[in-house]
């Protein structure tokens, strides 16, 4: 049987997530929402990308933006796209190459990297700017991570725990979706 310590793991864990979620600058969430809406108003799209859990989050948010908000949104989670571009251009360049193929000037790109050090995501940030896309970044871990200052909006979580960072990113992004849904009523 597992004993329950006085300060139980789950209470501490949920408290860490709650604290991380509450650290967001509301102006950054609002700016992100306006960027999503602006891209939609200009008949553009939102493109989301990440690795691992961040890629799963990108899929979830893209579907919710499309279905719930009526904003065209896509993500790059097709195995054949990833492996083709990674094979031809190197893993560190596959997201940049996907952006070259799919992004248009005026699109909004959302790049998610828990550590802020994923080379493929950092390269994609530079490519987004080259194309003329607005850019939202989500990162965590070190405050001076390379991704943190590359976007028009940079959402950062002060944690080095992957799941705390990913859950916080997910909540922030879904709060933007819910804000847009409410504003459309």
Q: What is the pLDDT along the chain (185 residues), one digit of tens a residue?
A: 555 566 688 999 999 999 999 998 899 999 999 999 999 888 899 999 999 999 999 999 999 999 999 999 999 999 999 999 999 999 999 999 999 999 999 999 999 999 999 999 999 999 999 999 999 999 999 999 999 999 999 999 999 999 999 999 999 999 999 999 999 88
Where in the sequence is the domain holding 117, given as residue range(s)? Answer: 9-183
Q: What is the separation of C-alpha 131 from the centre of its chain, rounded to a whole number of angstroms?
A: 19
Specify whether the backbone of 129 is left (phi greater than 0), alpha (psi in -120 to 50) or beta. alpha
How many domains is the chain partitioned into structurally? Answer: 1
Q: What is the CATH number of the domain that holds 15?
A: 3.40.50.10490
- Residues with Cβ within 8 Å of 87's Cβ and at least 6 positions away in sequence, in order, are none
Q: Taking the model in full, what pTM does it have?
A: 0.94
Residue 3 lies in a domain: no
- Does the residue 159 lie in any domain? yes
Q: Are 155 and 32 in contact (CB under 8 A)?
A: yes
b (16+ CB within 10 A) / e for 39-66: bbeeebbbbbbbbebbbebbbbbbebbe
């Amino acid at each position: 049987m597992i004993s329950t310590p006085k300060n139980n793991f789950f209470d501490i864990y949920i408290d860490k997530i709650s604290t991380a979620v509450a650290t967001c600058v509301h102006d950054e969430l609002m700016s992100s929402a306006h960027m999503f809406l602006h891209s939609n108003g200009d008949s553009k799209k939102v493109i989301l990308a990440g690795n691992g859990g961040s890629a799963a989050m990108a899929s979830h948010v893209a579907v919710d933006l499309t279905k719930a908000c009526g904003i065209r949104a896509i993500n790059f989670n097709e195995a054949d796209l990833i492996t083709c571009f990674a094979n031809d251009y190197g893993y560190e360049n596959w997201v940049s190459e996907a952006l070259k193929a799919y992004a248009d000037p005026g699109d909004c790109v959302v790049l998610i990297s828990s550590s802020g050090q994923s080379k493929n995501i950092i390269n994609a940030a530079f490519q987004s700017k080259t194309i003329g896309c607005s850019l939202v970044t989500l990162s965590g871990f070190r405050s001076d991570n390379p991704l943190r200052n590359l976007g028009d909006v940079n959402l950062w979580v002060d944690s080095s725990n992957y799941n705390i960072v990913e859950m916080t990113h997910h909540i922030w992004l879904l709060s933007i979706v819910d804000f847009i849904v409410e504003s459309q009523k």
